[in-house]
């Protein structure tokens, strides 16, 4: 048992920690050898991986519960609709009692404070929207599947809209700007931008039109979601679990994975530097992470890597959830110090290659990892985390604890009722369509229209000649310049360098 004792000693932390489960050694579960992860290192990021059906979702639920209990807010992307049960107490049963006994867990049915969100209001929950200008050209190019040249051209279009004071709140605003630039009237403006061809602008316009026709318009607009809402705690001090319900948009995987990246980039933009804390401000679970990296440009991957590397110092931990570590680029994987690897399959040559690649990402261990990873049962995983000193712990085969909340979805009507009862519902439920680029371009004077002749009525002449003080100030070039500087330039200097994202200061 010396090997088991050495492994167990690597998880004997002195400070607050999350209990993952109990050590597995030589076919036995050892309830007196708990496998844990220190609370202080959960802003160092992590990976939860494993084949379909191996228990990744329950692992997310288990970790989210314990974070909430320790006062840490959690964000969960619920792709399959399985995580809404975190809001209500779990159901006692023979399997739950058996698992609790095996791992030395004192199981108590418990629900956790939860907010439910829905991307664009499609599905159950409070609508989460972003303005097009906040989403930015880089992330939008990823969603639209544009090539690098088209991505650069879209960036020029955003720049033009910024300079001309054409607000891009929703997709019709952006389509209106592109349509104007490709029209006879706007071609002069198009030439002045530089580097943007009519053909490329036409491709972008067609992509936007097709994207809109797929129902994507619902995700963009106002009121824009303030990502600061994800950092709240409940009245009893527990962290609020924010569950983004995504089953209604499963047919748009590229969109929801990129939207999750917008949430992270926006948090990065708004949060101050805090260094290492005794607990994270937020732990963010990024499900179906492989979709984010698929067909991504080098510049896009560099931006992800930089965001993941730097957001740690702002108190945010990120866990990527996917099937194998090879789904995550090496530079990002290197940032993920906390690892929970569920079982892998080795039925095909590609499976076997993925298995060997996964084994190489772990420290040396006392186990035959290739054999172990193909033999793990549901709810079992290979674990290595960072110790309180920041060093990797020994690799530990682990039988995981049972979640204390409901391991399954709650009824959609219950989710809707919870969303309506939320203090955030009034703020975000109703979409708003303010005057923006679409309206401004629709009402612009045509080139053939002459300025209206001077009216003979003295009152009208007086009104034209002597605008109010407010009109003079608002209409001045200095005011417009200042407004653009305050509203977008500061954001661009900080965030456009990463993902082209920007937002209003609140």
Q: Alpha carbon of 315 to those of 15, 242, 310: distances in Å?
A: 18, 17, 10
Same domain, 230 and 216: no
Task: Give the length of the chain.
Answer: 506
| In a domain? residue 411 | yes
Same domain, 409 and 333: yes
| In a domain? residue 123 | yes
| In a domain? residue 299 | yes
Burial class (CB in 10 A: 0-12, 13-18, 19+), 10: middle
- The whole-number pLDDT of residue 428 equals 96
Same domain, 110 and 138: no
- The whole-number pLDDT of residue 449 equals 55
Spatial contact of 110 and 279, defined as CB atoms under 8 Å apart: no
| In a domain? residue 440 | no
Same domain, 233 and 339: yes
Same domain, 21 and 35: yes
Same domain, 366 and 453: no
| In a domain? residue 201 | yes
Q: Alpha carbon of 150 to those of 36, 153, 307, 352: distances in Å?
A: 47, 5, 23, 38
- The whole-number pLDDT of residue 474 equals 38
Which helix (DSSP H) or strand (DSSP E) does residue 311 occupy?
A: helix 298-311
Query: Which of the 8 DSSP states describes residue 77?
Result: E
- The whole-number pLDDT of residue 1 equals 46
| Residue in the structure block whose two tokens are 């993941």 | 308
Sign for the CA dihedral angle at 100, 101, 105, 108 comes to: positive
- The whole-number pLDDT of residue 288 equals 86
Distance (Å, whole) CA 336 – CA 501: 24
Range(s) of the domain holding residue 151: 132-220+445-496
Q: Which of 303, 350, 296, 363 is CA-nearest to residue 324?
A: 350
Distance (Å, whole) CA 424 – CA 176: 32
- The whole-number pLDDT of residue 109 equals 97
Distance (Å, whole) CA 202 – CA 182: 7
| In a domain? residue 347 | yes
Same domain, 326 and 423: yes
Half-sphere exposure of 229 (CA within 13 A, CB side): 21
**Of 372, 394, 428, which marks where a domain is finished?**
428
Strand partners, 127: 118
Distance (Å, whole) CA 505 – CA 486: 8
Same domain, 37 and 47: yes
Distance (Å, whole) CA 418 – CA 409: 14
Q: N- to C-terminal Cα distance for the chain? A: 58
Strand 46-49, strand 126-128: pairing? unpaired
Spatial contact of 280 and 316, defined as CB atoms under 8 Å apart: yes
Please tell me the pTM assigned to this model: 0.86
- The whole-number pLDDT of residue 34 equals 97
Q: For 12, phi and psi rounded to 5 degrees?
A: -90, 70
Same domain, 462 and 423: no
All residues at 6 or more sequence positions from 430 whose CB lies less than 8 Å from its CB, including other chains: none
Distance (Å, whole) CA 292 – CA 288: 8
Spatial contact of 38 and 13, defined as CB atoms under 8 Å apart: yes
Per-residue pLDDT of the chain (506 residues; tens, 9 = 90+): 458 999 999 999 999 999 999 999 998 999 999 999 999 999 999 999 999 899 999 999 999 999 999 999 999 999 888 999 999 999 999 999 999 999 999 999 999 999 999 999 888 999 999 999 999 999 999 889 899 899 999 999 998 998 899 999 999 999 999 999 988 888 888 888 877 888 999 999 999 998 988 888 899 999 999 999 999 999 999 999 999 999 888 888 888 888 998 999 899 888 999 988 899 999 999 888 888 888 887 878 888 898 899 999 999 999 999 999 989 999 999 999 999 999 998 889 988 998 999 999 898 899 999 999 999 999 999 999 999 999 999 999 999 999 999 999 999 999 999 999 999 999 999 999 999 999 999 998 876 655 455 444 444 444 444 444 434 433 444 333 333 333 444 333 323 446 667 655 44
Spatial contact of 51 and 316, defined as CB atoms under 8 Å apart: no
Runs of H (alpha helix) within 319-381: 330-333, 349-360, 369-375
Distance (Å, whole) CA 216 – CA 213: 7
Distance (Å, whole) CA 433 – CA 177: 17
């Amino acid at each position: 048992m010396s090997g088991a004792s050495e492994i167990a000693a690597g998880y004997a932390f002195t400070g607050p920690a999350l209990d993952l489960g109990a050590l597995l050694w030589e076919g036995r579960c050892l309830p007196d050898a708990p496998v844990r992860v220190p609370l202080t290192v959960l802003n160092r990021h992590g990976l939860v991986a494993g084949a379909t059906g191996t228990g990744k979702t329950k692992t997310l639920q288990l970790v989210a519960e314990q974070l909430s209990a320790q006062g840490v807010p959690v964000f969960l992307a619920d792709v399959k609709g399985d995580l809404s049960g975190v809001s209500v107490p779990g159901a006692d049963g023979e399997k739950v009692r058996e698992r609790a006994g095996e791992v030395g867990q004192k199981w108590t049915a418990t629900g956790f404070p939860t907010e439910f969100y829905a991307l664009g209001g499609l599905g159950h929950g409070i609508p989460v929207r972003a303005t097009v200008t906040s989403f930015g050209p880089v992330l939008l190019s990823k969603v639209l599947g544009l090539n690098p040249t088209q991505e650069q051209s879209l960036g020029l279009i955003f720049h033009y809209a910024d300079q001309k004071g054409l607000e891009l709140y929703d997709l019709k605003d952006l389509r209106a700007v592109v349509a104007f630039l490709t029209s006879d009237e706007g071609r002069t403006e198009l030439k002045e931008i530089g580097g943007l061809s009519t053909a490329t602008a036409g491709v972008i316009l067609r992509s936007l039109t097709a994207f809109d026709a797929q129902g994507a318009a619902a995700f963009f607009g106002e009121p824009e979601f303030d990502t600061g809402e994800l950092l709240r705690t409940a009245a009893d001090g527990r962290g609020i679990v924010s569950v983004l319900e995504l089953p209604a948009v499963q047919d748009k995987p590229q969109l929801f994975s990129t939207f999750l990246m917008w949430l992270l980039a926006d948090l990065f933009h708004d949060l101050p530097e805090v260094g290492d804390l005794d607990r994270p401000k937020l732990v963010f679970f990024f499900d179906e992470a492989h979709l984010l990296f698929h067909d991504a440009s080098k510049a896009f991957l560099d931006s992800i890597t930089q965001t993941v590397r730097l957001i740690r110092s702002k108190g945010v931990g990120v866990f990527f959830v996917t099937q194998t570590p090879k789904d995550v680029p090496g530079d990002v994987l290197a940032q993920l110090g906390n690892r929970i690897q569920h079982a892998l399959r080795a039925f095909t040559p590609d499976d076997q290659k993925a298995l060997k690649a996964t084994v190489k990402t772990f420290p040396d261990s006392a186990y035959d990892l290739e054999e172990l990873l193909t033999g793990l049962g549901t709810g079992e995983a290979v674990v290595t985390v960072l110790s309180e000193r920041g060093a990797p712990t020994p690799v530990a085969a682990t039988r995981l604890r049972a979640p204390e909340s409901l391991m399954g979805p709650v009824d959609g009507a219950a989710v809707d009722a919870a969303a309506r009862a939320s203090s955030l519902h009034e703020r975000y439920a109703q979409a708003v369509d303010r005057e923006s680029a679409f309206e401004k371009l629709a009402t612009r004077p045509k080139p053939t229209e002459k300025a209206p002749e001077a009216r003979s009525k003295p009152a009208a002449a007086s009104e034209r000649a002597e605008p109010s003080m407010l009109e003079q100030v608002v209409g001045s070039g200095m005011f417009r310049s200042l407004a653009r500087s305050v509203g977008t330039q500061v954001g661009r200097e900080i965030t456009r360098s990463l993902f082209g994202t920007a937002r209003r200061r609140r």
